[in-house]
């Protein structure tokens, strides 16, 4: 098998993570890292045994695929550089700085018939992968993603910085067009919103309630799903989850009805979890970025496969995020 020649543009935190994974994959040849910061680029290149370049033009003839891990405002410019040469790209989330720029990237991918993947790595979290095994139709989805102040990404609010992870996951689960969005949020430190709650109504009846904050005292990343088939509760941070399926619990209703007929039965003494058929979610421990890049390179090799998150899905996420931000601005606190 011919190894795919890869490179990473951007030697910051995420760029270094992508470089590490590429350097460990047997089916790819990690060519180099591109960064205008000489010291930073050379440091990452030395760690992972590759070359350092300061310009993307220096690598376009040496690679078969590339990851873009640079500030969002540069995504369109860099994506265009590679896509017009039919070089597949994996773009770190969010896909683009604006909906307009996101649409241009999607159009470039179609015009040049080239793979574009988006780095929503939470979709590749082992918890998300475990959820995919269940064939459920969500009726209500609740997410909570809060953490202490990160002292980074202060140029954007918590919606594009943090909530966008859950927006992508919710859209992938709901499988429906958005009907209505409501949101409230406040800015406490500076710039954009630091706390936000959004409620999304979908055309198929599903409702999603999303909360994000970067002013919490501790980190929490949770998701709950209500459906006719099952109830799911997962913790992305701890990588744990439980599933309560409807069918195995039908006898519980009969048991309750029978006991209610007995005047002397004390329900206060019943341990409710003992009555339910509760399954622990079977979760492996694969690295999300590794799984993400494997899916990307598989799609590069064989176009019958698709990346874990496509350009269209990345565009849908920023479109929804923008709707939430717009609702935040329109909310009247003085009613």
148/103: higher pLDDT: 103
271 burial via Cβ count (<10 Å: 0-12, 13-18, 19+): exposed
Give ∠ CA 320-153-326 in degrees, rounded to 5.
Answer: 30
Token pair in block for residue 144: 């909570």
CB under 8 Å to 307, separation ≥6 — which residues? 90, 115, 116, 117, 118, 292, 295, 296, 299
Shared domain for 152 and 34, answered yes or no, is no
Shared domain for 103 and 129, answered yes or no, is no
Phi and psi (nearest 5°) for 313?
-70, -35
Q: Is 20 helix (H, G, I), strand (E, B) or coil?
A: helix
Specify the pLDDT at position 129.
83
Any idea which of 135-139, 153-157, 200-204, 224-228 has the lowest mean pLDDT? 153-157
Report, as an integer, the average pLDDT of 250-277.
65
Classify each residue of 241-260 as buried b or exposed e, where b means 16 or more C-beta atoms within 10 Å of its C-beta.
bbbebeeeeeeeeeeeeeee
Shared domain for 110 and 172, answered yes or no, is no
**pLDDT at residue 260 above 70?**
no
Shared domain for 135 and 282, answered yes or no, is yes
The number of distinct structural domains making up the chain is 2
Residue with tokens 């015009």: 111
pLDDT digits (tens, 9 = 90+) for 75-85: 999 999 999 99
258 confidence band (pLDDT: 50, 70, 90): low
Shared domain for 141 and 224, answered yes or no, is yes
* Residue 314 lies inside a defined structural domain of this protein: no
* Residue 315 lies inside a defined structural domain of this protein: no
Report, as an integer, the average pLDDT of 188-204.
91
C-alpha span between 169 and 173 (Å, rounded)? 6
Report, as an integer, the average pLDDT of 175-189.
93
**Portion of the chain with pLDDT greater than 90, in percent:** 68
| Range among 155-169, 278-292, 305-319 with highest mean pLDDT value | 305-319
Alpha-helical runs (H) found in 154-287: 158, 164-174, 250-260, 272-275
For residue 70, CA distances in Å to 9, 38, 122 come to: 7, 15, 18
* Residue 268 lies inside a defined structural domain of this protein: yes
* Residue 335 lies inside a defined structural domain of this protein: no
Shared domain for 157 and 232, answered yes or no, is yes
Residue with tokens 């500076």: 190
**Domain ranges, residue 54:** 4-121+288-309
Q: Are 300 and 4 in contact (CB under 8 A)?
A: yes
276 burial via Cβ count (<10 Å: 0-12, 13-18, 19+): middle
C-alpha span between 184 and 197 (Å, rounded)? 6
Mean pLDDT of the chain: 89
């Amino acid at each position: 098998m011919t190894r795919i020649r890869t490179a990473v543009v951007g030697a910051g935190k995420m760029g270094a993570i992508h470089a590490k994974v590429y350097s460990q994959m047997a089916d790819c040849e990690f060519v180099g890292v591109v960064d205008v910061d000489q010291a930073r680029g050379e440091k990452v290149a030395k760690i992972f045994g590759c070359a350092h370049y300061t310009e993307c033009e220096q690598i376009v003839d040496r690679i078969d695929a590339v990851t873009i891990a640079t500030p969002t405002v540069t995504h369109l410019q860099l994506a265009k550089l590679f896509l017009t040469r039919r070089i597949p790209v994996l773009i770190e989330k969010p896909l683009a700085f604006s909906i307009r720029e996101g649409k241009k990237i999607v159009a470039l991918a179609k015009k040049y018939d080239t793979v574009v993947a988006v780095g929503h790595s939470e979709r590749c979290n082992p918890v998300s992968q475990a959820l995919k095994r269940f064939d459920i139709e969500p009726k209500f989805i609740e997410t909570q993603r809060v953490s202490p102040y990160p002292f980074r990404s202060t140029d954007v609010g918590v919606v594009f910085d943090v909530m966008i992870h859950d927006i992508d996951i919710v859209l992938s689960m709901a499988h429906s067009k958005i009907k209505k969005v409501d949101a409230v949020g406040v800015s406490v430190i500076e710039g954009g919103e630091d706390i936000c709650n959004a409620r999304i109504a979908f055309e198929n009846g599903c409702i999603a309630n999303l909360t994000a904050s970067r002013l919490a005292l501790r980190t929490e990343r949770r998701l709950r799903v209500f459906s006719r088939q099952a109830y799911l509760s997962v913790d992305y941070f701890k990588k744990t989850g439980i599933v309560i399926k409807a069918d195995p619990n039908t006898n519980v209703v009969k048991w309750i009805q029978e006991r209610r007929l007995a005047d002397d039965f004390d329900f206060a003494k019943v341990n409710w979890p003992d009555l339910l058929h509760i399954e622990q979610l079977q979760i492996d421990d694969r690295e999300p970025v590794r799984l993400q890049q494997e899916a990307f390179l598989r799609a590069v090799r064989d176009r019958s496969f698709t990346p874990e998150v496509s350009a269209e899905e990345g565009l849908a996420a920023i479109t929804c995020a923008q709707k939430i931000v717009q609702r935040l601005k329109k909310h009247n606190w003085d009613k």
